[in-house]
Amino acid sequence: MRGETSELAIDVRGLVKRFGDKTAVNGVDIQMPRGRVWGFLGPNGSGKTTTIRLICGLLVANEGEGQCLGFDIRKDAVKIRAQTGYMTQKFSFWGDLTIRENLEFVARLYQLPDIATTVDETLSTLGLLDRQHQLADALSGGWKQRMALAAVTMHAPNLLLLDEPTAGVDPQARREFWDEIHRLSTAGMTVLVSTHYMDEAERCDEIVYLAHGQVVTSGHVDTIIAQSGLATMRAEGAGVRRLAPLLEGRAGIEHVAFFGSALHISGTDLPLMQQTISQLGEQGVQWHSVRPSLEDTFIALMGRTGADPRNL
């Protein structure tokens, strides 16, 4: 069928979405090959959720064009949605139904054959068999997340869209969730995950970073860090807590942040940063150059984008 011919799962250009006089998305281009896990990053209000909804046909763009799964995002929204699983940020299933009843209802909505067998297999795959008769409202955040993932993948979609799926979920549940995401990707599913967690972003094959409704950068994590031109110095020792206010705004230093008991400073001029450090003469502190983290990079990128020009 036409939806299986393109090597790109998502190929959209110039997407613009306005709500009245407010521009949420302003000229977004995204090209995503099939069968990979993509991270979708950006600060609150950057346009991530709106872009996701434009891609899967839940919203219609004011400007721009493109395809999702080989279908036109304007003309074939129904066909796109039939091949897409979309897990919203807010739990959106029925709290007064059990896990099994929720999945059975979703299976009927998708008109899946042999509902009982399909639900049994889904419960088993996602580790939900022992909890299948629990009410959804009685589940913890991690189990609600797992049930929601079961519901949106039960019809075997070609594209999975996840809007901040692990917000408020404990670390163990997050790790198990990501193990399942990579299992689905290995089986051929394309996954787009909106997240604020940098460690999750680094689990993705590629990432897209949005700010002010526009794509700031995209690609592999290592490539984005390298292209940022950023250098990072790490300070450790007994006197490190006193350093942050002394370094803020000094020559060559664009960003100062604590990472556990250590301090990171970042900028694009390493010799100038090192000169500034030497002028402090702080005792009991050891400095060494380290690879910039993804968080260092994105904070630097956000600082370079400046104020949001959109009318929001």
Domain membership flag for residue 38: yes
Judged against a pLDDT cut of 60, whether residue 90 lies above it is answered with yes
CATH number of domain containing 270: 3.30.70
Domain membership flag for residue 310: no
Judged against a pLDDT cut of 90, whether residue 174 lies above it is answered with no
Same domain? For 212 and 76 the reply is yes
Judged against a pLDDT cut of 90, whether residue 299 lies above it is answered with no
Question: What pLDDT score was predicted for residue 1?
Answer: 37
* DSSP secondary structure letters along 219-271: E-HHHHHHHTT-EEEEEEETTGGGTHHHHTT-TT--EEEEETTEEEEEES-HH
Same domain? For 102 and 213 the reply is yes
Residue 192: Cβ within 10 Å count: 27
Same domain? For 272 and 216 the reply is no
Last residue of a domain, one of 224, 251, 268: 224
Domain membership flag for residue 152: yes
Q: What tens digit of pLDDT does each residue of 210-256 get? A: 989 999 999 999 999 999 999 999 999 988 888 889 999 999 999 89
Reported as a pLDDT band with limits 50, 70 and 90, residue 78 is very high
Average pLDDT of 55-72? Answer: 95
Question: What pLDDT score was predicted for residue 166?
Answer: 84
Residue numbers of the domain that contains 195: 2-224
Q: What tens digit of pLDDT does each residue of 244-275 get? A: 899 999 999 998 988 888 999 999 999 999 99
Same domain? For 77 and 185 the reply is yes
**Taking Cα atoms as reference points, which of 54, 44, 43, 50 lies closest to residue 23?**
50
DSSP element (H, E) containing 272? helix 270-280
In residues, how long is the chain? 312
Q: Which of 124-128, 135-139, 293-297 has the lowest mean pLDDT?
A: 293-297
Question: What pLDDT score was predicted for residue 312?
Answer: 55
Same domain? For 241 and 215 the reply is no
Same domain? For 269 and 125 the reply is no
Question: What pLDDT score was predicted for residue 2?
Answer: 44
Same domain? For 148 and 239 the reply is no
Domain membership flag for residue 53: yes
Same domain? For 73 and 189 the reply is yes
Judged against a pLDDT cut of 90, whether residue 309 lies above it is answered with no
The structural domain count of the chain equals 2
Domain membership flag for residue 17: yes
The strands making up 63-68's β-sheet, listed across from edge to edge, are 22-33, 8-19, 63-68, 71-72
